[in-house]
Structures are given as C-alpha cells and as structure tokens.
C-alpha cells in the first residue's frame, strides 16, 4: 500500500507529464472566461450550474487544444463529448408522439355496372 508521500510524488509526476503537453493552461482559462463573460454570469439553479460546469470543461479542453498547436486529438474529442452533454441538458424533451386518429370506415364503393336489386 502506498503512503501519502508516495501518492503525492506520483501526483507531481502526473502534473509534470501533463504540463509538458498543455503548459500552464490552468493559468489562462480565467482570462478566456473573462473575455467571454465580461459582465459576469448569473446562474442560480442546479441545472444552470451543471451546464456552466460542462461549459468550463469545454473551455479547458479548447484551450488545451490551442496550447498543443491544434494537434491534441484527445482534447478535441473530450470537447465534443462535453458539447453533446450540454446539448442533452439544454434541448427540450420532444413531445410524446400522439397517435393519429383512426379514419372512420368508408362505405365500399359500388363497382361500375353493378345493379341494385
């Protein structure tokens, strides 16, 4: 079993590996968010916070993609996944399809030349 110090060493190694790929991306995201929302954002409901959280993840993935010279495929895939998740939350559910009313039976047409009687 690893002790806390070994876990922290492993975490630092992960950080250094990711930082080689993405740079200090976490330091840039705030500037991007401020540029996108210069007047701030009003969110109040749990649903709004969920969409906001996913949007922030999209911005992180987009900035990581930019920091890799538009070449890190995993970041762009993750961005698409988060976008689909947001769409699923903001798209109103489709109305249940209503069955079409059944047409009333029509009387059988008489064949030409048929006589009544």
* Length of the chain as a residue count: 117
> Over the stretch 95-109, which tens digit does the pLDDT of each residue have?
666 778 787 777 766
Break the chain into its structural domains and give their ranges.
25-90
Q: Give 55: exposed, middle or buried? Use CB within 10 Å, 0-12, 13-18, 19+.
A: middle
Q: What is the pLDDT of residue 114?
A: 58
CA quadruple 69, 57, 37, 90: dihedral sign: positive
> Over the stretch 5-33, which tens digit does the pLDDT of each residue have?
999 999 999 999 999 999 999 999 999 99
Strand blocks (E) in the chain: none
Placement of tokens 């029509």 in the chain: 106
């Amino acid at each position: 079993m690893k002790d806390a110090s070994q876990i922290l060493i492993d975490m630092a190694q992960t950080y250094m590996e990711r930082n080689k790929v993405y740079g200090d991306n976490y330091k840039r995201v705030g500037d991007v968010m401020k540029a996108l929302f210069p007047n701030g954002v009003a969110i109040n409901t749990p649903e709004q916070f969920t969409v906001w959280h996913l949007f922030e993840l999209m911005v992180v993935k987009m900035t990581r993609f930019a920091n890799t010279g538009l070449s890190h495929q995993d970041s762009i895939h993750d961005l698409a996944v988060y976008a689909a998740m947001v769409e699923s939350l903001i798209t109103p559910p489709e109305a249940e399809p209503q069955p079409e009313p059944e047409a009333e039976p029509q009387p059988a047409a008489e064949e030409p030349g048929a006589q009544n009687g």
